């Protein structure tokens, strides 16, 4: 019995025709084997600018300092000058009401409830005085010094006219002066007005100057 001849040509599934040769080594010139499954897509890059912090707005501090300084400067000067004028004017007005009696006695007209002081020249001994009138009451304990007409007067006594009318003051032969006490409120108002105008105005000007400097520095940085 004869056997059919065996084919010597390699089959399609033989190692010689596959991508790998004998021993699992890729055959020369064979294409690389593609993997199974869909190809992986790469990650897309996020657009630039996403997630960045927004630009900072310029500070309003310089503008606030300029406005605050200008307002403080103007108000300090206006209010200070007004207070000083009113206060000093009240003190000066009180000195104009002073009546001088070189003979040491005289008569003065007073309103009801008005307090009057008796003055002697500064450096002279304090005289002993009497007051006659419709109704003489106790005076004030305030001490006053007034300069008028090149002469300086110091209070030595006082009384209150409890009724309106004429009051006669007698103090011997020494020159005297009679008038209302120096206005303490006027003095405080005058001094306070001057201090307010000086220090309040200086503070306002300082704030205004700082604000202007900050604005100039900011413009130079952004230029």
Give the model confidence (pLDDT) of 153-172 as tens digits.
898 999 999 999 999 999 98
Cβ contact 176:104 at 8 Å: yes
Q: Is the model's pTM score more than 0.75?
A: no
CB-neighbour burial class of residue 1 (10 A; exposed 0-12, middle 13-18, buried 19+): exposed
Q: CA-to-CA distance for 113 and 162, rounded, in angstroms?
A: 5
Residues in contact with 8: Cβ distance below 8 Å, sequence separation at least 6, in sequence order = none
pLDDT of 207: 93
Q: CA-to-CA distance for 32 and 133, rounded, in angstroms?
A: 137
Beta bridge partners of 152: 147
Cβ contact 139:203 at 8 Å: no
Instruction: Give me the residue spans of the domains in the chain.
Output: 61-88+187-222, 98-179
Q: What is the pLDDT of residues 97-152, one digit of tens each?
A: 788 899 889 999 989 988 899 999 988 888 889 999 899 988 888 888 888 778 88
Q: What is the pLDDT of residues 67-93, one digit of tens each?
A: 999 999 999 999 999 998 888 877 776
């Amino acid at each position: 019995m004869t056997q059919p001849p065996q084919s010597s040509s390699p089959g399609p599934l033989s190692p010689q025709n596959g991508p790998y040769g004998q021993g699992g080594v890729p055959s020369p010139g064979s294409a690389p084997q593609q993997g199974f499954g869909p190809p992986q897509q790469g990650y897309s890059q996020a657009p630039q600018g996403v997630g960045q912090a927004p630009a900072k707005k310029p500070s309003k501090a310089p503008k606030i300092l300029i406005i605050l300084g200008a307002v403080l400067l103007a108000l300090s000067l206006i209010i200070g000058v007004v207070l000083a004028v009113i206060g000093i004017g009240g003190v000066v007005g009180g000195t104009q009401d002073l009546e001088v009696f070189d003979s040491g006695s005289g008569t003065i007209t007073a309103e009801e409830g008005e307090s009057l002081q008796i003055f002697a020249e500064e450096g002279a001994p304090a005289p002993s005085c009497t007051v006659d009138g419709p109704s003489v009451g106790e005076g004030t304990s305030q001490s006053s010094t007034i300069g008028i007409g090149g002469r300086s007067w110091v209070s030595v006594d006082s009384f209150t006219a409890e009724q309106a009318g004429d009051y006669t003051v007698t103090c011997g032969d020494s020159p005297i002066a009679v008038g209302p006490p120096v206005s303490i409120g006027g003095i405080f108002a005058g001094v306070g007005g001057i201090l307010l105008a000086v220090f309040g105005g200086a503070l306002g000007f300082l704030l205004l100057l700082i604000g202007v400097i900050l604005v100039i520095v900011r413009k130079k940085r952004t230029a």
